[in-house]
């Protein structure tokens, strides 16, 4: 049974429920995007948001990313995420990471609106909310994205910004987990890492560590991290910082 409250305050649960939506948006793919309806995801049925959809697309826009939302005449809530086509032009690693960061950034904005919709009666949701949302976060400009990328990549002269909790928070959604944490979890979560650092590798790590081969154990973990970060287009420094949040679980002896 789904805890109807946990999904709002536990980032691991939020990611578990909504990562399939993010995957279906196919933000790393330049063409052939279809609307993603929350109603098509059985794990989200408890939210009763059958009228909500997210449309992702790529366009020739002045910003790196656009996010906006509107109600249709039939009171359907439509969310739109648009990324600049130039983000798809480069084959180098940094451009792919910029693309991933921009897409996840806009997706977390959509989650903030979904959180509001999930606790509001649709007829009671103020139309001013949509206006406020569109005014507040309509676009992400080039320098903002570059600064955010540099911060996530660990360059010391850049401070982390533009993904803080206050940047995403609308003020109507009630209690939720910190959006900054949620942004980082969607970039690189423990569950994502364990797609690579699976049970077999965890057992291998434990054997190495408990038999005194700690350097080999650490190398195994970090080599796996490098592969995962590269495959998922996540800045290595961000992936490493995320790993350090839960790495202690792998040092525990099995029961």
| pTM of this structure | 0.89
Q: What is the structure's pLDDT at 161? A: 62
Other Cβ atoms less than 10 A from the Cβ of 225: the count is: 21
Q: What is the structure's pLDDT at 132? A: 65
Beta strand residue intervals within 85-240, DSSP E: 139-140
CA–CA gap between residue 131 and residue 153 (Å, rounded): 33
Q: Of 74, 76, 95, 93, nearest to 84 (Cα)?
A: 95
CA–CA gap between residue 2 and residue 118 (Å, rounded): 15
Q: Of 87, 93, 89, 92, nearest to 66 (Cα)?
A: 87
Which positions ≥6 away from 117 have C-beta within 8 Å?
A: 49, 52, 77, 125
Q: What is the structure's pLDDT at 66? A: 87
The answer to whether 83 touches 97, Cβ cutoff 8 Å, is: no
Which positions ≥6 away from 114 have C-beta within 8 Å?
A: 38, 47, 49, 52, 79
Q: Of 48, 244, 74, nearest to 154 (Cα)?
A: 244
The residues facing 83 across adjacent strands are 58, 65
Beta strand residue intervals within the chain, DSSP E: 36-37, 52-59, 65-71, 77-84, 139-140
- The SS3 of residue 221 is helix
The low-confidence residues of the chain, meaning pLDDT below 70, are 1-4, 121-139, 156-162, 253-255
Q: What is the structure's pLDDT at 138? A: 57
Other Cβ atoms less than 10 A from the Cβ of 49: the count is: 18
Q: What is the structure's pLDDT at 172? A: 80
The answer to whether 64 touches 87, Cβ cutoff 8 Å, is: yes
């Amino acid at each position: 049974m789904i805890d109807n409250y946990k999904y709002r305050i536990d980032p691991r649960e939020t990611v578990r429920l909504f990562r399939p939506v993010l995957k279906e948006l196919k933000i790393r793919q330049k063409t052939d995007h279809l609307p993603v309806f929350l109603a098509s995801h059985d794990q989200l049925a408890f939210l009763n948001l059958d009228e909500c959809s997210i449309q992702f697309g790529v366009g020739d826009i002045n910003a790196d990313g656009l996010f906006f939302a509107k109600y249709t005449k039939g009171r359907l809530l439509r969310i739109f995420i648009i990324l600049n086509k130039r983000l798809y032009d480069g084959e180098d690693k940094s451009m792919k990471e910029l693309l991933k960061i921009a897409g996840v950034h806009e997706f977390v904005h959509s989650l903030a609106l979904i959180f509001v919709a999930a606790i509001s009666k649709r007829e009671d949701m103020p139309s001013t909310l949509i206006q406020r949302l569109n005014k507040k976060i309509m676009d992400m400009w080039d320098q903002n994205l570059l600064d955010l990328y540099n911060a996530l990549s660990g360059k010391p002269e850049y401070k982390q910004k533009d993904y803080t909790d206050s940047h995403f928070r609308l003020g109507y959604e009630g209690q939720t987990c910190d959006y900054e944490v949620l942004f980082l979890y969607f970039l690189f979560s423990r569950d994502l890492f364990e797609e690579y650092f699976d049970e077999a590798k965890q057992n291998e790590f434990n054997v190495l560590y408990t038999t005194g081969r700690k350097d080999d154990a650490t190398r195994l973990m970090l080599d796996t991290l490098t592969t995962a970060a590269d495959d998922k287009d996540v800045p290595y420094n961000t992936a490493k910082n995320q790993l350090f949040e839960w790495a202690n679980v792998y040092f525990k002896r099995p029961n």
